[in-house]
Structure 1
Amino acid sequence: MAVTENKNFQFVCKNLLCGGIAGMVSKTTVAPLDRVKILLQAHNRHHESHGVYSGIKHIIKTESPWALYKGNGAQMVRIFPYAATQFTSFEMYKRYLDGVFGAGSHIDKFIAGAAAGLTAVTLTYPLDTIRARLAFQISGEHVYTGIAHAAVTIFKEEGGARALYRGFVPTLMGMVPYAGLSFYCFEYLKWGCMKYVPSQTCRPCKKNTGGLVLLLPAKLICGGLAGAAAQSVSYPLDVTRRRMQLAMLSPATAHYAKGTFTTLRHIYKEHGLVRGLYRGMSINYMRAIPMVAVSFSTYELCKQILDLDTGLTL
């Protein structure tokens, strides 16, 4: 009994470490695109007419190259526990649901992924709000001096803990298709590679005779495709979340803080589908595809290094 408990404890700790590292590496990789996306989504007045490349050039010219990483410190504080919780929760939910929907079914991967996403975002959402506020600031117009100051100011001036969770409902609504599809697509594509093109995409697993693990290029491709599919479905709710998080920074946008469906209607009515609910989608593909690809690939590599991945036997 004690041996089993020790193995389970080691399994959880190792997964938490793998997930946290994967999240930090992937988010830092796309941090400049993340900041531009936030500025475009929330219609920052300095970036009203900008696209992806012009937005990046404008930040470098008017602020500094380091300004592309503004808010990334808060992102790292948030992303380690978020990604660690998400990946570890997925492994645990996947174990629990294994075989529930019958042999060969992959629906358990979707449910496990969605549940893992909901678990992680519930625990770390206030840090995402703070990170968005910091990333939205323009040099010379700072409202917050850092993570702690932003947290205290939002809590005191905007309604306590509720303010830190503003935009939480659309986040939960978007997390189900986003996390569910991300994990489902990655696991399904991974299984497909191992089943149909193992000689091109896999190598034997050192821990499991007959088991296979994906090669790095295959990991990146599977992760990128999974990210593209998930973002296509959930993006409007991501825009809604950002507008609600940033609503109280200006009286002109305060009406975006009144509720999820009210905010959705306001965005659609004022800006339409393409320039409203899907504004910044091009940059989102540019960031989401490499981000999810790097995230899954780093996680799988860390699992292999720590002897957690025993490979898949078909």
Structure 2
Amino acid sequence: MLFRELLGQHSHIGKLLAGSSAGATAVLLTYPLDTIRARLAFQITGGEKYTGIVHAATSIFRDEGGLRGLYRGFVPTLCGMIPYAGLSFYCFEMFKLLCMKYIPDWTCAPNSRNTGGLVLLVPAKLMCGGIAGAFAQSFAYPMDVTRRRMQLAMMSPETHKFGLGMVQTLVLIYKENGIFKGLYRGMSINYLRAMPMVAVSFSTYELMKQALNLDTGLKL
């Protein structure tokens, strides 16, 4: 609402800022849980170090500098989330506009309540969301790799070098493994995860707006 009032309802910058702000807020509030999840998942192959969520949280807080330990890797996560959330939101709106403007017979149904008189069909919602997610992930993925290395850095002495800071970790990953086998390692499987996740997220968001009789159309 704030960006809409400041920049206008159809501002591209406003859409980017809205998505980025939402993503950054979500990461800020939930990041310690993501760190704990990563530690618990890793210890399946790395030996039992934590007995559960509470034990992992208290151990990290006690042994690794309090909140600094729980938020290790937060900066690269934020640096990745801001373009990821902003681009995914922006791209979804742009793909949605293209569908409504150029191929409405295949992707839309009439809806008199919406701006433009059209509503995107569910298969088209899923398609736009999936493509938007893949596009955004392509830009943000190296930061996701950096975040994960930093989260797991204190699990063994050999990996402590990845916990010194974002820039140092990025440089180390690049020097040791390069771009495709380092910064983009696992990208293909990440597409298989991210595309359906973002597709379902945006589709659910749009369907809930429709259920509440809110405008999901666009000015064509």
Report the TM-score when normalising by structure 2: 0.91
Give % identity.
67
Q: Do the aligned partners of residues 209 and 281 (structure 1) sit closer, same or farther apart at CA in structure 2, a change above 3 Å counting?
A: closer
Task: Tell me whether 1:311 sits opposite 2:207 in the alignment.
Answer: no
Partners of 2:59 and 2:137 lie apart in 1 by 32
2:178 alignment counterpart: 272
1:205–1:311 Cα contact (<8 Å) kept: no
Q: Do the aligned partners of residues 229 and 93 (structure 1) sit closer, same or farther apart at CA in structure 2, a change above 3 Å counting?
A: farther
Partners of 1:93 and 1:279 lie apart in 2 by 38
1:234 to 136, 140, 144: 140
Range 171-180 or range 105-114, more displaced: 105-114
Q: Do the aligned partners of residues 242 and 139 (structure 1) sit closer, same or farther apart at CA in structure 2, a change above 3 Å counting?
A: closer
Instruction: Show the 5 A alignment for 1:1-314.
Output: 92-99=1-8, 105-138=11-44, 141-205=47-111, 207-208=113-114, 211-305=117-211, 307-314=212-219
Q: Do the aligned partners of residues 114 and 208 (structure 1) sit closer, same or farther apart at CA in structure 2, a change above 3 Å counting?
A: closer
Structure 1 unaligned blocks of 5 or more: 1-91
Deviation, 1:222, is: 0.3
Could you list the per-position Cα deviations for residues 11-38 of structure 1 after superposition, in whole angstroms to 9, with x for gaps in the alignment? xxxxxxxxxxxxxxxxxxxxxxxxxxxx
Range 125-134 or range 160-169, more displaced: 125-134
Q: Do the aligned partners of residues 235 and 208 (structure 1) sit closer, same or farther apart at CA in structure 2, a change above 3 Å counting?
A: closer
Q: Do the aligned partners of residues 229 and 208 (structure 1) sit closer, same or farther apart at CA in structure 2, a change above 3 Å counting?
A: closer
Structure 2 unaligned blocks of 5 or more: none
Could you list the per-position Cα deviations for residues 289-312 of structure 1 after superposition, in whole angstroms to 9, with x for gaps in the alignment? 11111111122222222x153231
1:41 alignment counterpart: none
Which amino acid is 1:95 matched to? R
Which amino acid is 2:125 matched to? K
Partners of 2:47 and 2:81 lie apart in 1 by 32
2:115–2:217 Cα contact (<8 Å) kept: no
1:204–1:210 Cα contact (<8 Å) kept: no
Deviation, 1:145, is: 2.3
1:174–1:238 Cα contact (<8 Å) kept: yes
SS at match of 2:152: helix
Could you list the per-position Cα deviations for residues 247-269 of structure 1 after superposition, in whole angstroms to 9, with x for gaps in the alignment? 00111101100000000111111
- Length, aligned pairs only: 219
Give the alignment's Cα RMSD to 1 decimal. 2.0
Q: Do the aligned partners of residues 250 and 209 (structure 1) sit closer, same or farther apart at CA in structure 2, a change above 3 Å counting?
A: closer
Q: Do the aligned partners of residues 216 and 97 (structure 1) sit closer, same or farther apart at CA in structure 2, a change above 3 Å counting?
A: farther
SS at match of 1:152: helix
Q: Do the aligned partners of residues 161 and 209 (structure 1) sit closer, same or farther apart at CA in structure 2, a change above 3 Å counting?
A: closer
SS at match of 1:144: coil
Partners of 1:167 and 1:132 lie apart in 2 by 12
1:248–1:257 Cα contact (<8 Å) kept: yes
Which amino acid is 1:309 matched to? L
Deviation, 1:271, is: 1.4
1:37 alignment counterpart: none
Report the TM-score when normalising by structure 1: 0.65
Deviation, 1:188, is: 1.0
Which amino acid is 2:215 matched to? T
Partners of 2:218 and 2:196 lie apart in 1 by 28
1:211–1:311 Cα contact (<8 Å) kept: no
Q: Do the aligned partners of residues 177 and 246 (structure 1) sit closer, same or farther apart at CA in structure 2, a change above 3 Å counting?
A: same
Q: Do the aligned partners of residues 212 and 146 (structure 1) sit closer, same or farther apart at CA in structure 2, a change above 3 Å counting?
A: farther
Q: Do the aligned partners of residues 270 and 258 (structure 1) sit closer, same or farther apart at CA in structure 2, a change above 3 Å counting?
A: same
